[in-house]
Amino acid sequence: MAEISSNVSKQQIILASSSVYRKELLARLHLPFISITPNIDESPKEYESPDQTAIRLAQEKAEAISLQYPDAIIIGSDQVATLDGEQIGKPGDHHNALRQLQSMRGKTVIFHTALCVLHNHAENQHHQIQIENCKTIVQIRNLSDAELNAYLHIEKPYDCAGSAKNEGLGIALLESVQSNDPTALTGLPLIALTSMLRNLKVDFFK
């Protein structure tokens, strides 16, 4: 949970995620929030494009938590990485991460980071949904097996799609990043999120 700061929104904010990276990003806004893990199936559907998968899962995460919390602002986010049109998942272990980085080196990887902000209105029993997909184009450096292996031993990014933590040493694996939202690659696009929260009259500077 984020530290409670003096910048307090009267509306309860819930992050529908167990991701430590998303919690750290949301905490930058100095708003009180709680995080709850949504229990959903995150498997992509057949014939679903990567951006459609990310958007659907972001919305499903928010909606799953909304069932338990009336009159709350709920934030759902999901990220899908693709290489040559194929989705890249979380490697899980060192062996899979090394194979993933070897397949990516010298190539372009596209990250779709979808954001859904859902606002429940308990009194009139309806909710407002805002959805956006933030696309990030990443060029990976053409590094040797020894360099990739050494990186993995240092940072162990086995829970990250793409096998690299761009907020850490993983930035050394990247040659360039193109995005309208610099935090999207880490997992929660804060520029898009602050716009959505402002639409809901959340005051960041109170």
User: Structure tokens of 113?
Assistant: 């980071």
Question: Is the pTM for the entire model greater than 0.85?
Answer: yes
Query: pLDDT tens digit string along 137-164?
Result: 999 999 999 999 999 999 999 988 889 9
> Is the per-residue pLDDT at 166 higher than 50?
yes
What integer is the mean pLDDT of 90-103?
95
Where are the extended beta strands (E) located within the chain? 13-15, 34-35, 73-83, 86-88, 108-121, 126-140, 174-178
Fold classification of 13-199 is Maf protein (3.90.950)
Q: Are the C-beta atoms of 73 and 14 separated by less than 8 Å? A: yes
Each domain of the chain, given as residue ranges in start order, spans 13-199
> Is the per-residue pLDDT at 7 higher than 60?
no
pLDDT value at residue 26: 97
- Pairwise CA distance, residues 76 & 74, whole Å: 7
Q: Are the C-beta atoms of 149 and 98 separated by less than 8 Å? A: yes
Query: pLDDT tens digit string along 104-133?
Result: 999 999 999 999 999 976 554 567 899 999
pLDDT value at residue 6: 33
Query: pLDDT tens digit string along 173-192?
Result: 999 999 999 999 999 999 99
- By annotation, the residues acting in catalysis are 78
**Token pair 């956006």 is at which residue?**
132
Best CA proximity match to 136, nearest among 86, 188, 172, 97:
188
DSSP state of 172: G
DSSP state of 72: -
Query: pLDDT tens digit string along 42-96?
Result: 888 888 999 999 999 999 999 999 988 878 999 999 999 999 988 888 899 999 9
